[in-house]
A and B are shown apart, each in its own frame.
Chain A
Amino acid sequence: MDDVQLLKEEFLSHGKKQGLDESFLIQILDYLMKKQFFPAGERESIRNQLSKMISEHAKGD
């Protein structure tokens, strides 16, 4: 568990350096973690959802 936290911390740290919002980064990472075992050929819906999340973020930013 600690190390999932470590991954999250690393991700947040690097993401913030890129000027990205923490809650948005958490949202993206959680989603990617949740869907990480979907093989490459079955990720169309995942990409759609990611696009949606990014668009929403861009809208509200």
Chain B
Amino acid sequence: MKLQHLFLYNIGPFRGQYPINFQSENKGNGYAFFAENNRGKTSIYNAMRWCLFGEVSERAKTADGKRYEGGRIPIVGEGRILMNSFAYENDKNQEMSVVLLAEGAKGSIQITRTAKSTTTLARHDGEMAIQLDVKIGSNPIKHGREAQEAIESIFPKELERFFFIDGEALEEYTEMMRSNAMKGLKEEVNAVLGIPALIRGDADLTRIRQGIKSKIDTTVKAEKASSKARDDANRQKRVLGEKIKFADKKQSELKTVMAKLESTKELMMAHEELAPIVEQLKTLEGQIAFIKENLIDISKDKVQEAKVAWKVLLWKKGSTQYNDYLNQQEHAVKREWDAKQATDSIKQLEKDANEMTGICVECHQPLPDLEKFKQKKEKELSEQKEILKQHHLAKYESTDDLAIKIGDLAKLKPQSDSKERILRADKKWKKLVNNLETLQEQYTSLDAKLTEDAKSNLVELGEKKGRQEAMVSRREGEWRSANTEVNLAELELKRLEDKSGGPTIDKKDHKIDNIIANLIVTINNTVSSYRGKARSQVEKRATEVFQRLNNAPEVYTGVRVDKDFKTEILNSKGRPARNPSSGAVSIMTISVIDALRHVSGLDVPVFLDTPGRSLDEHHKSKLLEYFWQTEGQQFLIFAHSGEYAVDETVEKFKGKLAKAYTISLPRDQKTCFQAECRSDDVEHDAYGKKRTCNACGHEWDLTSEETLILEVPL
């Protein structure tokens, strides 16, 4: 995979659009970006990381063998940001984008990542809309997650460390490679060797297998249940057979008794003419029996009612005396009342006579004729006394005696309806007796019409028929019950048969389970053997690179990579070197990284930021000599002027350099930077803060902050 073009827009120091063309007529895989500090080398490096992965992290830090990841550099916001500061602060609509075009064995790929503000001034990345479009070959454009997957199938994010190499982080790499605390790098070593494919594949297959096993277990259980149901169904079939047999037997018995009944009925038909008489006699017998039963009840009622008949008879005479006593009692009461009245009048009249004053007691007026009045009163008194005298002379029974007599007679008094009830009960009884006699006469009359034999036959047949009908009824009940049993047994059989139709064990599932088990074993065995072989390959390759870059081959002879990928420099005796030089250690680190990258088979350009930071002149030179070749993977360095001198480097590696650029500001340019001019006849105007090329007349502003990416002629 080779870079073809890069387009930067409003990223880092690059305000506006900056196209960079990586296509070259020159032979060589080397690319160089030279710049002083803070001119934008790392911004190009980061622009490519952002384009590929959508994020750029600060450099990680390592302390005591532990690696601490750097924070994410935001696109916008306070402090260090990815977007061009001028564009962020001044543009109405903040926008930043990077377009990367590359060509490889899988065809061309065009990646466009754009960040646009969703507000007037985005204060943080949450207010930025990110758009990712990826076009591979002639395939349709992919977006979002699908696009990211497409990118990472070529540029794996997990292996970023092996192609985006930060020279300033070499010490960190070294520390991790030499330390016992290998956790961070061990994972990456695994990743670079392709072991995640196996480890994650193992986990995936194990999980799939669990699902299959669970399905098989469920099927086995269901199969067991259905097998048991099949056995039960077979048993039930036998039970059903027995029940059907029993029901058939009952049906046969029913038919037999029904046939007998029919035969009896036929015999009875022979006496058909007598049958009505017999029927009538039977009816009469029933009626007579019924009336007799009723007659017993009615007789009891009659007897009950007749218990007070003596009272009714006695009262016939006693009632006159009773009424007479009542009249006498009435008169006696009246007489006693009259006597009392007379006594009271006498007392009053005597009192009036004694107390007479000549004044009327009613109107309180003087009486006009007192004497006459006195006579009148005396007459009244004498009349009252006569009345009282007559009363005393008369012989009458006292009210008390009369009350006793009345009470005694009342005990004999029947209830008012006693007589009617006695008569009614008697009438009812007589009527029933009459009915009974009538029916008995009818019975006697009809009975006389039958001979004794006929009567005997008919009675016998009737009784037989009755018994047979009862038997038919019983047999019918038994047959119905047997049929119900058959139906229930059939239902149970159906239920068991339904249950027995469960799933059968799918041989395919077993086959799949077996294949997965074999794949898991394959993976585990591969991981065990491959790690050892890969380690050996890495060690071999790292040693080769180290030997080529190392400036003291007589002291340091190679690199050892142990089973945990912990690395050491070997001395001339093949033992771990004590206190190797820092340059040798840096070279070892680069060698191991390169070996791992090589072993991983990563077909991507290598980006090396500040490559010579911890290397001496010899190693720096050797580094480029090794990595820059006439062909092969692109190798891009982002070097500052202190690391590599532009002219010297370009001159030295001309045959291996495809393209070289300088990144600068206008004020850095002391010669004309017009591509076709390059004259050093330049006039400096300190007052006007500008420079002018005397050859072509090009003029540039020394206060401008517009970054220049200038191609170095090779």
> Using a CB–CB distance below 8 Å, which chain A residues touch chain B?
1-4, 6-7, 10-11, 14-15, 17-20, 25, 28-29, 32-38, 40, 43, 46-47, 50-51, 54-55, 57-59, 61
B289 adjacent to chain A (CB < 8 Å): no
Docked CA distance A59–B507 (Å): 11
Give every chain A residue within 8 A of B200 (Cβ-Cβ): 32, 35-36, 38, 40, 43
Docked CA distance A57–B252 (Å): 65
B184 adjacent to chain A (CB < 8 Å): no
> Using a CB–CB distance below 8 Å, which chain B residues touch chain A?
152-153, 156-158, 191, 193-194, 196-198, 200-201, 203-205, 207-208, 508, 511-512, 515-516, 518-519, 521-523, 525-526, 529-530, 533-534, 537, 598-601, 603
A19 to chain B, nearest CB (A): 6
Give every chain B residue within 8 A of A29 (Cβ-Cβ): 197
B534 and A7 within 8 A (CB): yes
B517 to chain A, nearest CB (A): 8
Q: Which of B519, B529, B598, B601 gathers the greatest number of chain A CB atoms within 10 Å?
A: B519
A28 and B537 within 8 A (CB): no
> In chain B, what residue has the closest Cβ to A61?
B511
B130 to chain A, nearest CB (A): 19
A17 to chain B, nearest CB (A): 8
Docked CA distance A20–B525 (Å): 14
Total A-B contacts with CB atoms under 8 angstroms apart: 109
A6 and B518 within 8 A (CB): no
Docked CA distance A15–B198 (Å): 13
> In chain B, what residue has the closest Cβ to A19?
B518
Give every chain A residue within 8 A of B519 (Cβ-Cβ): 15, 18, 20, 28, 54
A-B contact pairs, 22 of them (CB 8 A): A3-B193, A3-B598, A3-B599, A3-B601, A4-B194, A6-B530, A6-B534, A10-B526, A11-B530, A14-B521, A14-B522, A17-B525, A20-B518, A36-B156, A36-B196, A37-B191, A37-B196, A43-B203, A47-B207, A50-B201, A54-B516, A58-B508
> In chain B, what residue has the closest Cβ to A1?
B601
Those 8 A-B pairs whose CB atoms lie nearest each other, nearest first: A36-B197, A18-B518, A4-B601, A32-B201, A3-B599, A32-B197, A14-B525, A15-B522
Give every chain A residue within 8 A of B191 (Cβ-Cβ): 36-37
B601 to chain A, nearest CB (A): 4
Give every chain A residue within 8 A of B157 (Cβ-Cβ): 37
Docked CA distance A35–B385 (Å): 151
Docked CA distance A37–B207 (Å): 18
Give every chain B residue within 8 A of A38 (Cβ-Cβ): 200
Give every chain B residue within 8 A of A17 (Cβ-Cβ): 522, 525
A33 to chain B, nearest CB (A): 5
Give every chain A residue within 8 A of B208 (Cβ-Cβ): 47, 50-51, 54
Docked CA distance A7–B207 (Å): 23
* Known A1-B601, A3-B193, A6-B537; contact A20-B153, beta-carbon cutoff 8 A: no
A34 and B526 within 8 A (CB): no
B215 to chain A, nearest CB (A): 11
